Structure 1
């Protein structure tokens, strides 16, 4: 049943988006799948034929504990600043629709019968629809179609802003006056994040025609988003994951010897070129870079001087200098420090580091481990350009795959221990 639910939700991405319902779908699906896990595990009739869900893997417990600590940090910040009960309730609902979904979806992936292949095939269908819509979206600003078609009435359920419920064809970049495309996400860098996720899944698709369609569609989303981080991530993530998955092969070490030697020999030139490339990268969107850096400086300064342990508890609007954007936005770590302090940062660092290590080891022997490792790298890289919490409602397929990989890693550990005891 859960496999069908996930497939239906993923395949219906575009229809649900046109209803303005994606922001609602993510949390509802997370709660539904978590409820299925809990009911099957703890509310079982004696005549139930379905087998009990597997034990919760240690990797999932890291995420459950970490996201629980996130809520504790939130309450600590609200208590420190004596915020009202209404504000605390609103922030708790925000936590349930954001950080809590990391724990919910990894739990569902690990404990429910959701197949890796189902997620790949369903995202392949969404990638095909995205590719077919790309010409229309690309031509929309040229023929004078409006940026936003409408804002869904579902906005009444509450959310960070109207863009999460808006059906939009494109957006105009205030820096250069040129269009950028968002597809079914609230802003262009978010589209780059989802495009990179779809690229990872498309590469793992065993069906060649669908693999080609998925890769072309994902690259179109990344390129048209015009996100610098998205472009860099597309180049780095999959090669890194593939390289880690091949570390057992001695030929890889031999093949890497010559490039490593040459890199050491010409390191001064390479470092100079990298420095020039970095400055050019920053200069591509100079105003955006200025605002992001200023938001980061404000967040760090106020975190350190005002609320180093628990943070401020709530997001605050920045000054005119940063175009009134929320302090700590556009950066997961700065946002966590400002809102939830060092406790909140630790609550994310520990499960992320565990997942990276666990998936790197699993990638040596499993395609699921390789995909999960690539997805975790993607999350780590986008922490410096996005607030992950607010985009969990879109990124949930990646979290399901991480949960599936955690289950497989736990099974492999159990098999190794059983073999060791037998011998």
Structure 2
């Protein structure tokens, strides 16, 4: 409907449909497969561990190449003919460069570097359940490499919290721990305001560590909301567009806010 509303044509509609099918449609198909196919958790956990091991090796090798000053971008995939969000989406690369700082930024097997920390935080939950020590250690090392090289502050914060939380939940059936929580939680509730203020102060300090990143994200969100509200409130624009230098040429679309 967005394509028809903005007269983007049959060719662009077909290309966008293919792009939707190979991307967003999978978000619905994968949970459907998980519901109807008898998958053993051990196989999924091991598969994640295999990916984690390869990621650890790939990350170390490409970091050495980055330090050596070699270019990270290799070539643009011919699949670009199917359409997508610019050349960057189809660029086959060893590593990328942050548009804000100019330093190396790894996207690994994710479409964007910012997606890596999200995948990484999911991966580590799977990896901690691996029973084989060798695979578990390799995969956790891969998660650490992803957390480091994706350069996400939020990713690091969540990653650091996940491991103790995961180990903590295993002990929730212990009577001593439950009794301890019974004493600890009221104390936390009574001292909630200073704890809240300290968390907010720490969050603000993290935000100020990379002000350019926050500026770009805020501007991208404002642009997306403003263009949707003023230009296409019913069906949207139909496709994303490359943003201006203000947002470091990142594509403007509804996904950032939605």
**For this structure pair, what is the TM-score category when the shorter chain's length is used for normalisation?**
0.7 to 0.9
Q: Is the 8 A contact 1:164 1:185 kept in 2?
A: no
Q: Which residue in 1 is equivalent to 2:250?
A: 325
Superposition pairs for residues 7-406 of structure 1, below 5 Å?
Answer: 75=1, 77-237=2-162, 253-328=178-253, 332=255, 334=257, 336=258
Using the alignment, how far apart are the partners of 1:153 and 1:79 within structure 2?
Answer: 27
- Please state whether the residue corresponding to 2:75 is helix, strand or coil: strand
* 306 and 204 in structure 1: CA distance in 2 versus 1, 3 angstrom threshold: same
Structure 2: unaligned runs, 5 residues or longer: none
Using the alignment, how far apart are the partners of 2:20 and 2:229 within structure 1?
Answer: 23
Q: How far is 1:242 from its partner? A: 6.8
- Please state whether the residue corresponding to 2:236 is helix, strand or coil: coil
Q: How far is 1:263 from its partner? A: 2.2
Q: How far is 1:137 from its partner? A: 1.6
Cα shift readout 1:169-225 (whole Å, capped 9, x = no counterpart): 322334333322233334322222232232121011122221122112111111121
**Structure with the higher helix share, 1 or 2:** 1
Q: Which residue in 2 is equivalent to 1:25?
A: none
Using the alignment, how far apart are the partners of 1:250 and 1:280 within structure 2?
Answer: 38
Cα shift readout 1:295-344 (whole Å, capped 9, x = no counterpart): 11122223233433433322233344223322247xx452x4xxxxxxxx
Q: Is the 8 A contact 1:222 1:230 kept in 2?
A: yes
Using the alignment, how far apart are the partners of 2:101 and 2:144 within structure 1?
Answer: 22
Using the alignment, how far apart are the partners of 1:81 and 1:152 within structure 2?
Answer: 28
* 90 and 168 in structure 1: CA distance in 2 versus 1, 3 angstrom threshold: closer
- Please state whether the residue corresponding to 1:204 is helix, strand or coil: coil
- Count the aligned residue pairs: 258
* 110 and 205 in structure 1: CA distance in 2 versus 1, 3 angstrom threshold: same
Structure 1: unaligned runs, 5 residues or longer: 1-74, 337-423
Using the alignment, how far apart are the partners of 2:88 and 2:54 within structure 1?
Answer: 21
Q: Which residue in 2 is equivalent to 1:368?
A: none
Using the alignment, how far apart are the partners of 1:92 and 1:148 within structure 2?
Answer: 28
- Please state whether the residue corresponding to 1:144 is helix, strand or coil: coil
Indicate the structure whose relative CO is greater, using CA pairs within 8 Å and at least 6 residues apart.
1
Q: Is the 8 A contact 2:77 2:90 kept in 1?
A: yes
Q: CA RMSD in A?
A: 2.9
Using the alignment, how far apart are the partners of 2:91 and 2:6 within structure 1?
Answer: 34
Cα shift readout 1:140-166 (whole Å, capped 9, x = no counterpart): 122122112333444444443433443
Q: Is the 8 A contact 1:140 1:170 kept in 2?
A: no
- Please state whether the residue corresponding to 2:147 is helix, strand or coil: helix
TM-score by length of 1: 0.54
Cα shift readout 1:273-293 (whole Å, capped 9, x = no counterpart): 112211112122211110110
